[in-house]
Amino acid sequence: MSKRSNEPFLWMLFSAGGVVSALLMPIHLFLFGLAFPLGWLDAPSHEKLLAIVRNPFARVYLFVLCSLPLFHWAHRFRFTLYDGLQIKHLNELINVFCYGGAVVGTAIAAYLLWAIA
Amino acid sequence: MINPTEYLPRTYQARVSTYWWLKRWAYLKFILREASSVFVAWFVVVTLLQVRAIASGPAAYAASQEWLRSPFILALNVVSFLFVLFHAITWFNLAPKAMAVRVGGKRLPNLAISGPQYIAWAVISAGVAWILLRG
């Protein structure tokens, strides 16, 4: 048998990230990206948000919200470059850039969330 | 084992245009769906910057709110919101095609699979909004 492919595992991360992005991102982006900056709704105070991000459950939530979608991005973006722009000869470089980026992003998220005083 | 296709002449390869995805709405939709992932990644960047600002103190938080009000970032976030919405809708509608659930030998109708996801989406969104907006 040939070398076992890690494709199913990467696809699982892609899929889990797709679910998280679909369920959670629209409301977050609507509030923080549109409703608060445009003054449609009152933005929560710093004090309140700090209390939220200090909560361990909220940190786990934010970690999942940041990490899995990055792997979702990595998978999709990789195939966008591969099929869309047909730059197949750069496959290895693309893989390193995409999945490497997701791993680095996950590490940054873990650090930032862990370091909250 | 010998791979029979290995010995076929491979002189002819049809060239596919780099812009093949502009030829049909279905292709374009596919590429737009794939492109939504870039905005998903952008959202993660924005969220992490916000987390850092909140952790750094009230002044940093105020600065980050100011940044989110700047025209370019605001426009980018409007576009991102539309793409993320597009991702969510296509994702929920895709689920029944990706997993064909059979009950008693019969395939469940599409709505039985995507319906609960839309309900979960509404409930979760309301929950997040409630936590952030209450008192």
- Element at B103 (helix H, strand E): strand B102-103
A62, A113 contact by CB (below 8 A): yes
Q: How many domains does one find in chain B?
A: 1
Listing DSSP states for chain A in one string gives -PPPPSHHHHHHHHHHHHHHHHHHHHHHIIIIIIITTTTSSPPPPHHHHHHHHHSHHHHHHHHHHHHHHHHHHHHHHHHIIIIIS--GGGHHHHHHHHHHHHHHHHHHHHHHHHT--
What are A52-107's pLDDT values in tens digits? 999 999 999 999 999 999 999 999 999 888 877 777 778 888 999 999 999 999 99
Q: Euclidean distance between the first and final Cα of chain A, in Å? A: 51
In a domain, B36, yes or no: yes
Q: What is the CATH number of the domain that holds B94?
A: 1.20.1300.10
pLDDT at position A6 is: 82
Instruction: Tell which residue, B13, B31, B10, B14, has the closest CA to residue B22.
Output: B31
b/e code B94-111 from CB counts within 10 Å (16+ = b): ebbeeeeeeeeeeeeeee
In a domain, B6, yes or no: no
Report the gap between the CA of B81 and the closest CA in chain A (Å): 6
Q: Which chain B residue is nearest to residue A28, measuring alpha carbons?
A: B128
B87, A76 contact by CB (below 8 A): no
Query: How many residue contacts between A and B have a Cβ separation below 8 Å?
Result: 149
Two tokens, residue B42? 């952008």
pLDDT at position A85 is: 73
In a domain, B11, yes or no: no
Domain A8-114 has CATH 1.20.1300.10: yes
* CA separation for the pair B120, B91 (Å, rounded): 13
Two tokens, residue A97? 């850039």
B55, A116 contact by CB (below 8 A): yes
In a domain, B94, yes or no: yes
B101 is in which domain, residue-wise? 16-133
Q: Percent of chain B at pLDDT above 70?
A: 91
pLDDT at position A1 is: 46
pLDDT at position B4 is: 61
Of B114 and B101, which is predicted with more confidence? B114
B119 and chain A in contact, CB less than 8 A: no
In a domain, B82, yes or no: yes
Cβ separation of B77 and A38 shorter than 8 Å? no
Report the gap between the CA of A43 and the closest CA in chain B (Å): 8
In a domain, B9, yes or no: no
Residue B127, classed as helix, strand or coil, is helix
Task: Give Cα A43 to chain centroid, integer Å.
Answer: 23
Summarize the confidence of residues B4-14 as an average pLDDT.
65
Summarize the confidence of residues B98-107 as an average pLDDT.
79
pLDDT at position A88 is: 72
In a domain, B126, yes or no: yes
Asked whether residue B38 carries a pLDDT value surpassing 90, the answer given is: yes
pLDDT at position B15 is: 78
What are B57-78's pLDDT values in tens digits? 999 999 999 999 999 999 999 9
Average pLDDT, chain A: 91
In a domain, B7, yes or no: no
Summarize the confidence of residues B97-117 as an average pLDDT.
82
What are A12-31's pLDDT values in tens digits? 999 999 999 999 999 999 99
Of B23 and A1, which is predicted with more confidence? B23
Asked whether residue B10 carries a pLDDT value surpassing 90, the answer given is: no
Two tokens, residue B47? 């969220």
Listing DSSP states for B65-100 in one string gives HHHHHSHHHHHHHHHHHHHHHHHHHHHHHHHHHH--
| Position A50 confidence tier, pLDDT thresholds 50, 70, 90 | very high
